[in-house]
Amino acid sequence: MEAINNFLLLLDSYLGSAAYFPYILLGVGIFFTLYLGFPQIRFFGHAWKVVTGKFDKKGAEGDTTHFQALSTALSGTVGTGNIGGVALAIFLGGPAALFWMWVTAFLGMTTKFVEVTLSHKYRVKTEDGTMAGGPMYYMDRRLNMKWLAVIFAIATIISSFGTGNMPQINNIAQSMEMSFGFDPMLVGGVLAILLALVIIGGITRIAAVTSKIVPIMGALYIIGSLSVIFFNVDQIGPSFVAIFTDAFTGSAATGGFLGATFAYAFNRGVNRGLFSNEAGQGSAPIAHASAKADEPVSEGMVSILEPFIDTIIICTLTGLVILSSGVWSQKHENTFSRTDLDIVAGHYSDAEAADREALYHYLNDTNENTIEKYNGTIQVRDGRPVSNGYTMLHARSVAENVRFIVAGEDPYTGVLRIENGQLKKEDIVIVGDSLIHSAALTAKAFSMGFLGEAGEYIVPISLMLFAFSTAIAWSYYGDRAVVYLFGQRGVMPYRIIYVAGFFVASFADTTLVWTLSYVAIVLMTLPNLLGIVLLRREMKDTVKAYWQDFDAEQSKKIEK
């Protein structure tokens, strides 16, 4: 299992984690933004009118309204990435990461407009009378590249488990256990039953549920976020200054945060932006293909709103909560994760300018790094280390007030062996003060507002709603990919396996599936980006024809 996981990580290093991937993603967005004349700006107001049903036509084919299709797509994109993902991006790349998320979202509004329009244009009606669409259909029906469509469809099914299913319930179960003491298996069992009741009803029930969940969870999160931001209103200005200055000068060291290189912040921001709003991945077009619309461009208009709501609104609120509260650069007591632990040779303090610079080069792996990993032993007495010659780093910060605990809460006494910067004794729990990241960082930030410590509960509740709605939406994406590959007969077996996987992942290790999803996401994104670029002229002509017909219809209404 470990060998397979390492192979997938190696493969991902040549795909999604490779240096070229963010540039391809942004490059396509820049191209279509210029090629179509900034549609994310010109069509923004029109998109709101379309989603409210102002231009709806009776008898248009489809299964859902524009708003329901948007809600389903949003439920698939607004997930754990909006809560823990933004915190992780700021933790790794500093405030600059949020700037690059904005850039990705702005360009992604155009990319999503294109992919949704083309996918809706080539959708089909299935055996049971429902609509099926997505990039695999334009790849097959328009480009005659069935092999590429098959790759995309297979990758979509894998991603439905690795992105929308298993990690989501795993995060929910862990969060519910940590915040409320609920048993993970119980949480998984209850939510698996609810998931089954929703997805077995197909797109009409999925759309009905998501159109109710999305506004509720959005309102809850926005109100909670504003309660923190306005409580720290004096830090809003400095937060925006940090975002913009760090984006162009490289993330500066602040508090416990030791800084990140420009490339690091850029890469984290762009990749997190894609993970958050999924623009270019080709997933959302599957949901939008169900919308009742005769003009594909009108549904493309609706999709422009997705990256705006998901990233520019929701992710920005999360980022401002974290930055304005100041917790992102402060150390907090926590239980150390072995994956975030690193022990280096020599004594360093982040209170000393020279040491901070040396640690900066070490953590960012620059050519100027002179720090080496520690090899040797640590003497511990009553849980406290007493030997020198090393510095313990946790979560990219110098750890303080470190305590070693064994057998529950008993302080450890003895000698610990360190090899290549890692503690070899497995049954030791390390507690101390360091930076924190992901959902834990967001939760801590929410406690710094008008609600006080009670604000922390907004995170697990929002995370549950966000993640559960994501699982619902991705079940439909995988469902339509199954229909493309195997026909209607494959849908029910897929749904059963999807629900079973959802339950098991609530208490099982999902590392392998999560790693596999890294690869699958790229195997969705790259074929989709290639396809929409190949269809660039058709896209431009389709948009032109839409406005000609729209203007003609409006003229007739005026005449009447």
Asked if 298 and 351 sit in the same domain, the reply is no
Quote the tokens at residue 446.
């929410």
* CATH number (domain holding residue 168): 1.20.1740
Asked if 338 and 324 sit in the same domain, the reply is no
pLDDT of residue 268: 63
Could you give the CA distance from residue 82 to residue 319 in angstroms, rounded to a whole number?
9
Q: Is 54 part of any domain?
A: no
- The beta strands (E) that lie in 366-508 are given as 376-381, 384-385, 390-394, 397-398, 400-406, 410-411, 414-419, 422-423, 428-434
Asked if 508 and 394 sit in the same domain, the reply is no
131, β-bridge pairs? 125
pLDDT of residue 515: 72
Instruction: Check residue 125 and report its DSSP letter.
Output: E
Asked if 141 and 22 sit in the same domain, the reply is yes
**Domain boundary pick from 377, 399, 434:** 434
Q: Is 60 part of any domain?
A: no
Q: Is 268 part of any domain?
A: yes
CB 436, CB 405: distance < 8 Å:
no
Q: Is 339 part of any domain?
A: yes
Full residue range of the structural domain in which residue 351 is found: 333-434
Asked if 151 and 225 sit in the same domain, the reply is yes
CB 112, CB 279: distance < 8 Å:
yes
> What's the one-letter identity of residue 223?
I
What averages of pLDDT result for each successive group of 10 residues across the chain (560 residues)?
69 72 88 96 94 83 86 83 84 84 92 95 89 93 95 92 85 84 91 92 85 88 94 93 79 63 64 73 90 90 93 93 92 88 90 85 84 91 88 90 84 90 86 88 91 88 89 92 93 94 84 72 90 96 91 72
Q: Is 530 part of any domain?
A: yes
Number of structural domains in the chain? 2
**Domain boundary pick from 434, 457, 481:** 434
pLDDT of residue 73: 86
Q: Is 521 helix (H, G, I), strand (E, B) or coil?
A: helix
pLDDT of residue 270: 67
Q: Is 261 helix (H, G, I), strand (E, B) or coil?
A: coil
**Domain boundary pick from 434, 464, 489:** 434
Asked if 316 and 386 sit in the same domain, the reply is no
pLDDT of residue 203: 82
Asked if 279 and 369 sit in the same domain, the reply is no
Asked if 452 and 352 sit in the same domain, the reply is no
Q: Find, among 158, 199, 198, 192, the residue nearest to 173 by Cα.
A: 192
